[in-house]
Structure 1
Amino acid sequence: MSLLWLFCCPPLPSSIVRKLAFHPPAPTYRVEQTSVGLRFVPRVLVDSVQLWRVQPFFVPTRCGSQLACVYLRCAVAPRFTLLMSQGNSEDLGLVVGWYLKLGCYLGCDVVGYDYSGYGASSGRPSERGMYADATAVWHALVDRHHVPPEKVVLYGYSLGTAPTIHLAARHKSVAGVVLQAPFTSALRLVCPGVRRTWCCDAFNNIDRVGEVHAPVLVVHGIRDDVVEWRHGIEILSRCANPVEPLWLEGGDHYNLSRHEQLWARLGSFLAELEAASPSLGPSSADERRSSAPSTTVPV
């Protein structure tokens, strides 16, 4: 099977990768210019009471795209800032509600972005472009918004685990990494029998994740039939600094956020990061109270 795939698709040209990996939906939001700045306007149902927390901005990339991004201010004194990289068929309008719940529950700010060609971002999606996208947002977060790298937790879901691993392997001082439904590589995903890395492969997470120094939490649904559970197990086995993973018994590729165990494990993971580096915590009792995570699981 693997040889057939190689002969039919040598050596995985970017046009094939784009067709297989990227499925941008019709935009589900718009960014409006108002007299007081940019405004994020979702076209899907989002808690309007919380929308004031969503601050849109744009970031240029070295590939020439202008990326639509959002900064969600969910805590007065955030424990961490979560830099989110989403799946291949989502844009910010579809995930901003989840980001708001996540940030408010964990006591963290959240930054999200759309890949080139998604949502209000210009350009075309590609593997190379996706890494450039993530790098541009990283520099905006650290350089423009002055968030220290050691206060950033990188969080990738599905396709988004590729740019998350890319960033974490290059920026060793990030506080931690969450990989939700990670995959080993494009070729291994298409051809389950492949056990080695070919030069034609794309999104080679399995060989790059070992370069990540930060603690890595792997989360996977045991019933995932899009990215099988074995991918999560293999990724975990290659991590240099893994923590206790979360294997969700009733979890598939799309329903993990509905499981209370996910929210609990994310909360305990951040607590582990704080315990390992006490200097990361808020500096006063008032700040600790203002950034404390919610005790109500928003599922």
Structure 2
Amino acid sequence: MGAKMSKAVDAEGREISLSDAENKCYIAPLRCVHCSTELSFTGQYLRQLGDDTVTVSACFKLKRGNVHKTDCPFDLTEKVTIVARESSPAVLSKNESGKYELRLLAVKEAIFGLRDIENKESKSNNPESRPKVGKEYVKSKKQLSSYLSTARQVLKIRAQCEDNREVEDNLELVFNGNRVHWKDFYFMDQDYFRCYTNLQRATINIPIAIQGLVRSTKVVPGKYGERAVLNLISPYRETDDPKVIDTVNISIWSSNLSSFDKFKYKDSIIIFGFWKAGKIDEREGASEKTKGKVYRNRQISMSLLTNSQICPEKS
């Protein structure tokens, strides 16, 4: 199990960057800069995502059949161990089978707990008029924040993997005593349609993570005042009718108008929390290119309870 890497060494011991590899300025084989296990290189390429063309970054990764040494910082098992060492066992610890276990119920309680604390703190702009808080209050906020910090670190580890199989061998997900499969917790853009179906059928509301690229951020008026909204770039899916295209639109809403200020077009982010599947609506294409086509939109949305639910992939 290994993370994607941005550097390698070649047969002559020279450090090779992604740019060097793209230009074939190295002598094979490529190896890990820390443990010397053999690597392969995947070059940068473009892919179509809905109306957008997005760039998939180049990377070095383990060559098939190779593994990192257990103390290598690029070994994902080691990464999980380090996170667990710095985390509360209430949210991340080893289970009886020897695997690490992220407890999603603790994550849920932390999200709502921090929401309540932040609401109390924001009731007044005047610090003197805010309710006084004691050591237990501060301790509670620090503890809840640490739970969400652990969740974000786990999500970043998952983002470094090509698929769920690389992480689920060493890190399990549990909600209220029941195991949750990674495919039902972590969704990339190719999973959005399945995510929508899962949300429609769900009988238990658990926190899930959606990874994607930012399409837009804006502030919009509403019944109870202005709200900020962040939209992700959405995939399309062809149907039996050439004039009908299925889409999934994902939006995150916040009463904090500055929640999304630091994000720009095509930034890669992960947002975890409690999502809702809305009704399917239809609209006709508005541009010259899409005129005559009908888009069937599946709406997935979430109200952000605390900014700690946002996890930029690079930070």
Verify same fold: TM over 0.5.
no
Q: Which has the larger radius of gyration?
A: 2
TM-score, length of structure 1 as denominator length: 0.30
Q: TM-score, normalised by structure 2?
A: 0.29
Between 1 and 2, higher relative CO (CA 8 Å, sep ≥ 6) is seen in: 1
More helix by share: 1
